[in-house]
Amino acid sequence: MKKIAIYLAAAVLVFSVVLVQSCRKEDNKPRQELAVKSFYPNSGNGGTLVTILGTGFDDNATVSFGTVAADVLNVNDTSMVVRAPKDGQTGKISYKSGDKTLDVGTYTYQALSVQSFFPTNGPAGMHVRISGAGFSSLNTPAEVLVNGVSALVVSANDTLIVAEIPVDAGAGPITVKVNGQTSTGASFRFQAISSIKPMTGNVGTKVTINGSGFDAVAAGNIVEFNGKSAVVAEASEDKLVVIAPEGVATGPVTVRISGQLVAGPAFTPVPAPQISVVSPLSGPAGQEMTINGMNFSSFTDENIVKINGVPVPVKTASGTKLTLTLPGGTGNGKVEVVVNDQPVTGPDFRDQNLGVVSVSPASGLAGTKVTITGVGFSTVPAENIVTFNSVAAVVESATETSLVVTAPAALTTGELKVTRAALNANAPSEFRRAGTMTLYKGALISFSASAMAIDSKGNAYVSDRNNAHIVKVTPDGNATVWAGSAGMGYKDGSLAEAQFGAIYGLAFDAQDNLYVSETGNFRNIRKITPAGVVTTVKTGINGAVGRLALDKSGNMYITQTWSGVLKIYPTGQTEPTLRSSVSDNCTPAVDAKGNVYAGQDDYQGIISRYDATAKTSTLYWLGAQDAFGFVDGPRATARLGYGFTALVIDNNGSLLVLDKNNYAIRKFDFATNEMSTLARFAGLGYADGSFDQAKFSFGTIDMKLGADGSIYILDQGNSAIRKVFLR
């Protein structure tokens, strides 16, 4: 028993020591500096509970209303709750602890008192329930202010007011005025989102939300992107940094705090950036670099460019182009672009005194004069070694920033490189062996030639409207009358027996069946099989029958002048698409989604578009009334020559335009929403060669794409079929 008693005594002693030490540690915890920040309410009768906010409060403090001590009901480091004494008088509230006395503020003894409200936070437009006393009045209705801004009173009785939080109130106390009396309660936390940045990006993008009334603790803010929860990485009362979540979709960014929701601007997911061309791929400090591509931000600070891991400030930015000044000292390495936390890696860059900025023309044939613009060239021509796909070229003249060379005889498409001493500099893009040749020139292409089509084997077919026949030209240039030799009429059968009306359009399907649109007395769609059998697939078409196009599903589209473009299904059923005036002298085009593109008028540079999904037409999709010209760039400002004669969807899904008045082939890229020039020829006349040498007549009336990607042009004025090869 004695041993047990000894053990118990020892245990009590240890516990006492631990307890004392614990208390001492608590006592030694540093207390915040004593300060009073605010109190509420500032009025009421005796017995009203008053909350004092501040720092450094202690349990031994006393609070007095004038000279009368108040009951202290609750106290911690940052707040105290006291009861206004019943026998107190209007005047100062004092806080006293030891030898320190603080002035809390003035308390007014009156019937009017704002004691609490709910919710304590929220956005403009929400309703808040204010509880208190003395709200009723027989004279004038109670007035409510939030942070000094007048609020709409929805309903009121003696102890409860429902008010609407005003726009742009901001955080501040809720005040009620009745019959000349005023009472102020606690501060309302006003929630608002003023902006988000960036407004585009994708999963993983860091988005900064600016506003007010946020919780300074990250976990106190529930952020969603169009209903998808996001992680809050940083938080303060006026700013949140959040991470765009997986599966983010276009929609508003919302913040919920203590159950109250506030909605901000919409965040739009966009694809990751892409780099197409960086120019130059080498160069010294001070040289301007241009990065072309897609999905960049138009805000410079939302694009981060690094060379060999070294950040380089962006000078100008658009959705498709960034410019910057090379700082020098980056070393050799990859060019990287990060747009709103979405990265893409581009080509290698060399930090050196030699660089190629541009090459003009960017394509040509052997013998083409090429001007290379850059920096760090030798003024002695022989000291600059220029190669086209590893084949040396003759340098004719040289300055520090320009070389003029002649493309070599063994020219092939490939890398263009300039070497000076130990330094090598690559051109931004390959130099393409490209130009124009004549496939056929002769009497079988008459001035009544109307349309052209190319089969999978590279044979070209040209229709003759007046002679009602079709000419076939083989890849080696051999031309014959292929179908319709029996003269004008209407007869199905073999190629030798078949008769046609005035032919306006030709188009091949994927199986090499040739479809023929004819007008005059017949208004038919005819079909010629690879075996040479002619049949009628649609007859008695209402309205005009003009140029013809096919989509991937075998649906046919014909221009009908004032009636627009008619869609003809393989079953023979018809459906109007573009319901506006279109040119029967321009072959329409149909993209993979079934959207239709057509020239609006023979005397305008306007493309109209039919949206197959929405089933709506845009008459001025590209171009404007009487605003023809030659302008590349965004669709809104791009301009074409008047009376262009053919539209084609190429193998990459871009729209090609035979811009005959500008002697050019134009290209509209749907991904970048921009027009560019694929090839511009020397002008009026007849000449083959590189694009800067080739000439065409004014009668370039149709254009089709070959299986190898080459472009065929029906040059009616020169009685020729011309082939434009791009590589």
Is the domain of 320 the same as that of 278? Answer: yes
Is the domain of 429 the same as that of 439? Answer: no
CA–CA gap between residue 724 and residue 364 (Å, rounded): 11
Is 459 in contact with 390 (CB distance < 8 Å)? Answer: no
Is the domain of 661 the same as that of 514? Answer: yes
Boundary of a domain, candidates 351, 370, 393: 351
Is 337 in contact with 321 (CB distance < 8 Å)? Answer: no
pLDDT confidence of residue 29: 56
What is the average pLDDT across 325-344? 97
Is the domain of 528 the same as that of 542? Answer: yes
Lowest mean pLDDT among 18-22, 166-170, 273-277, 531-535: 18-22
pLDDT confidence of residue 694: 96
Kindly report whether the peptide bond that precedes residue 634 is cis, defined as omega within 30 degrees of 0.
no
Q: pLDDT per residue over 288-307, tens digit each?
A: 999 999 999 999 999 999 99
Report yes or no on 647 lying in a domain: yes
pLDDT confidence of residue 257: 96
Q: pLDDT per residue over 74-123, tens digit each?
A: 999 999 999 999 988 899 999 999 889 999 999 999 999 999 999 999 99
pLDDT confidence of residue 228: 96
Is the domain of 364 the same as that of 468? Answer: no
Report yes or no on 553 lying in a domain: yes
CA–CA gap between residue 355 and residue 384 (Å, rounded): 12
pLDDT band at 140 (very low <50, low <70, confident <90, very high): confident
Is the domain of 670 the same as that of 526? Answer: yes
Report yes or no on 260 lying in a domain: yes
pLDDT confidence of residue 19: 40
Query: Average pLDDT over the chain, rounded to whole?
Result: 93
Q: pLDDT per residue over 252-261, tens digit each?
A: 999 999 999 9
What is the average pLDDT across 199-219? 96
Residue span of the structural domain in which 72 resides: 35-109
Is the domain of 105 the same as that of 117? Answer: no
**423, 300, 296, 416: which is closest to 350 by C-alpha?**
423
Boundary of a domain, candidates 381, 403, 433: 433
Report yes or no on 78 lying in a domain: yes
Q: pLDDT per residue over 210-237, tens digit each?
A: 999 999 999 999 999 999 999 999 999 9
Is the domain of 545 the same as that of 468? Answer: yes
Is the domain of 486 the same as that of 557? Answer: yes
In this predicted structure, the answer to whether residue 596 has a pLDDT above a threshold of 90 is: yes
Is 354 in contact with 400 (CB distance < 8 Å)? Answer: no
Report yes or no on 1 lying in a domain: no
Give 18's contacts (C-beta < 8 A, 6+ positions apart): none
pLDDT confidence of residue 30: 66
CA–CA gap between residue 383 and residue 398 (Å, rounded): 9
In this predicted structure, the answer to whether residue 8 has a pLDDT above a threshold of 90 is: no
Q: Compute CA distances 100 → 28, 34, 63, 83, 390, whole Å.
A: 20, 9, 12, 21, 89
Report yes or no on 18 lying in a domain: no
Boundary of a domain, candidates 212, 236, 269: 269
Residue with tokens 């940045």: 197
Is 171 in contact with 189 (CB distance < 8 Å)? Answer: yes
What is the average pLDDT across 187-209? 96
Lowest mean pLDDT among 2-6, 24-28, 58-62, 238-242: 2-6
pLDDT band at 672 (very low <50, low <70, confident <90, very high): confident
In this predicted structure, the answer to whether residue 20 has a pLDDT above a threshold of 90 is: no
Q: Compute CA distances 477 → 115, 455, 467, 716, 720, whole Å.
A: 97, 14, 21, 16, 10
Is the domain of 253 the same as that of 328? Answer: no
pLDDT confidence of residue 727: 80
Q: pLDDT per residue over 489-543, tens digit each?
A: 999 999 999 999 999 999 999 999 999 999 876 789 999 999 999 999 999 899 8
Q: Is 301 left (phi over 0), alpha (psi -120 to 50) or beta?
A: alpha
Q: pLDDT per residue over 272-291, tens digit each?
A: 999 999 999 999 999 999 99
User: What length does the chain have?
Assistant: 727
Instruction: Using a cut of 0.85, tell me whether the model's pTM lies above it.
Output: no
pLDDT confidence of residue 138: 74
* Burial label, 480 (beta-carbon count in 10 A; 0-12, 13-18, 19+): exposed
Report yes or no on 637 lying in a domain: yes
pLDDT band at 605 (very low <50, low <70, confident <90, very high): very high
Is the domain of 158 the same as that of 254? Answer: no
Report yes or no on 23 lying in a domain: no
Instruction: Between 21 and 598, name the one with better pLDDT.
Output: 598
Instruction: Specify the number of domains making up the chain.
Output: 6
Report CA Rg, the chain.
41
* Beta-sheet strands, E only, within 110-259: 113-118, 121-122, 127-133, 143-146, 149-156, 160-164, 172-178, 181-190, 192-197, 200-201, 206-212, 222-225, 228-235, 239-243, 251-257
pLDDT confidence of residue 612: 96
CA–CA gap between residue 600 and residue 586 (Å, rounded): 9
Is the domain of 62 the same as that of 146? Answer: no
DSSP 496: T
pLDDT confidence of residue 689: 93
Q: Report the CATH number that the domain containing residue 181 is assigned in CATH.
A: 2.60.40.10
Q: Which residues is 695 bridged to in the sheet?
A: 683, 687
pLDDT confidence of residue 4: 40
pLDDT confidence of residue 28: 54
In this predicted structure, the answer to whether residue 2 has a pLDDT above a threshold of 90 is: no
pLDDT confidence of residue 26: 43
Q: Which residues is 39 bridged to in the sheet?
A: 52
Instruction: Between 287 and 27, name the one with better pLDDT.
Output: 287
